Chains A and B, each alone.
Chain A
Amino acid sequence: MSKISKHFEIAGDKIDSMGEASSEIKKLLKTLGLPAQAIKRTAVSMYEAEVNLVIHGGGGEGFVEISPETILIRFEDKGPGIPDIDLAMQEGYSTAPDHIREIGFGAGMGLPNIKKNSDELTINSVVGEGTTVTIKIDLTKG
Chain B
Amino acid sequence: MEISHSVALNKDLCKGCTNCITYCPTEAIRVSKGKARIITDRCIDCGECIRRCPHHAKIALPDSMRDLEKFQFKVAIPAPTLYGQFDKRFSIDRILTGLKHLGFDEVFEVAKAAEYVSDRIIQELAKPDKPKPLISSSCPACVRLVQVKYPELLDNIIRVESPMEIAAQIVREKYKDIKDLGIFFISPCPAKITSVKAPLGHDSSTVDRVLSIKDIYLPLLEAMSSNTEIEHLASASGRGVSWAVRDGETEAVKPISYVAVDGINNVSKVLEKIADGRLDEIDYVEVMACPGGCVGGALTVENPYICKSIVTAKILDLPESVIEPDNLEKIRLDWDTKIEPRQIMKLSDDFGEAIEKIQKMQMIQQQLPGLDCSACGAPTCKALAEDIVRGKAEITYCVFVLRERIRKLTNSMMELQEKMPPPIDNN
Q: Point out residues on A near B: beta carbons under 8 Å.
A: 2-4, 19, 22-23, 26-28, 30-33, 36-37, 39-40, 43-44, 47-48, 66-68, 104, 113
Chain B nearest CB: distance from A120 CB in Å? 19
Chain A nearest CB: distance from B339 CB in Å? 12
Residues of B within 8 A of A104 (CB): 278
**CB pair A30 B345 closer than 8 Å:** yes
Residues of A within 8 A of B352 (CB): 2, 68
**CB pair A47 B345 closer than 8 Å:** no
Chain A nearest CB: distance from B25 CB in Å? 14
Chain A nearest CB: distance from B276 CB in Å? 4
The answer to whether residues A43 and B346 also contact, given A2-B356, A32-B355 and a CB cut-off of 8 A, is no
* Choice from A3, A47, A67 contacting B276 with Cβ under 8 Å: A47
The answer to whether residues A33 and B272 also contact, given A3-B355, A47-B278, A68-B352 and a CB cut-off of 8 A, is no
Residues of B within 8 A of A28 (CB): 358
User: Which chain B residues in 336-362 approach chain A with CB under 8 Å?
Assistant: 341, 343, 345-349, 351-352, 354-359
Ordered by A's residue number, 13 sampled pairs between the chains whose C-beta atoms are within 8 Å are A2-B351, A30-B149, A30-B151, A30-B345, A31-B354, A33-B346, A33-B347, A33-B348, A36-B152, A40-B152, A47-B276, A47-B277, A104-B278
Q: How many residues of B contact A (CB 8 A)?
A: 25
Residues of A within 8 A of B351 (CB): 2, 32-33, 68
Other 11 A-B pairs with CB < 8 A, given A4-B359, A36-B341: A3-B355, A28-B358, A31-B346, A32-B346, A33-B347, A33-B349, A39-B152, A40-B277, A43-B152, A48-B277, A113-B277
**CB pair A31 B347 closer than 8 Å:** yes
Residues of B within 8 A of A22 (CB): 276
Residues of A within 8 A of B356 (CB): 2
In the assembled complex, the Cα of A104 lies from the Cα of B259 at a distance in Å of 15
Taking the complex as formed, is B275 at the interface, i.e. its CB lies under 8 A from any CB of chain A?
Answer: yes
**CB pair A36 B154 closer than 8 Å:** yes
Closest to B355 in A: A2
**CB pair B355 A68 closer than 8 Å:** yes
User: Which chain B residues in 351-377 approach chain A with CB under 8 Å?
Assistant: 351-352, 354-359
In the assembled complex, the Cα of A60 lies from the Cα of B358 at a distance in Å of 25
**CB pair A27 B345 closer than 8 Å:** yes
**CB pair A23 B355 closer than 8 Å:** no
**CB pair B358 A31 closer than 8 Å:** yes
Residues of B within 8 A of A68 (CB): 351-352, 355
In the assembled complex, the Cα of A109 lies from the Cα of B151 at a distance in Å of 25
**CB pair B354 A32 closer than 8 Å:** yes
The answer to whether residues A43 and B276 also contact, given A33-B346, A36-B152 and a CB cut-off of 8 A, is yes
Q: Which applies to chain A's interface (DSSP): helix, strand, loop or mixed?
A: helix
Closest to A37 in B: B152
Closest to B386 in A: A31
Residues of B within 8 A of A2 (CB): 351-352, 355-356
**CB pair B359 A19 closer than 8 Å:** no
Chain B nearest CB: distance from A89 CB in Å? 18
**CB pair A33 B152 closer than 8 Å:** no
**CB pair A31 B345 closer than 8 Å:** yes
In the assembled complex, the Cα of A60 lies from the Cα of B352 at a distance in Å of 30
In the assembled complex, the Cα of A33 lies from the Cα of B347 at a distance in Å of 7
Chain B nearest CB: distance from A105 CB in Å? 9
Residues of B within 8 A of A30 (CB): 149, 151, 343, 345-346
Residues of B within 8 A of A19 (CB): 276
Residues of A within 8 A of B358 (CB): 4, 28, 31-32
In the assembled complex, the Cα of A32 lies from the Cα of B356 at a distance in Å of 10
Residues of B within 8 A of A4 (CB): 355, 358-359
5 closest A-B pairs by beta carbon, nearest first, are: A33-B346, A36-B152, A44-B277, A40-B152, A30-B345
In the assembled complex, the Cα of A39 lies from the Cα of B152 at a distance in Å of 7
In the assembled complex, the Cα of A20 lies from the Cα of B336 at a distance in Å of 37
Residues of B within 8 A of A3 (CB): 355
In the assembled complex, the Cα of A24 lies from the Cα of B152 at a distance in Å of 16
Chain B nearest CB: distance from A101 CB in Å? 14
Chain B nearest CB: distance from A108 CB in Å? 14
Residues of B within 8 A of A33 (CB): 343, 345-349, 351, 354
In the assembled complex, the Cα of A113 lies from the Cα of B276 at a distance in Å of 11
Chain B nearest CB: distance from A142 CB in Å? 13
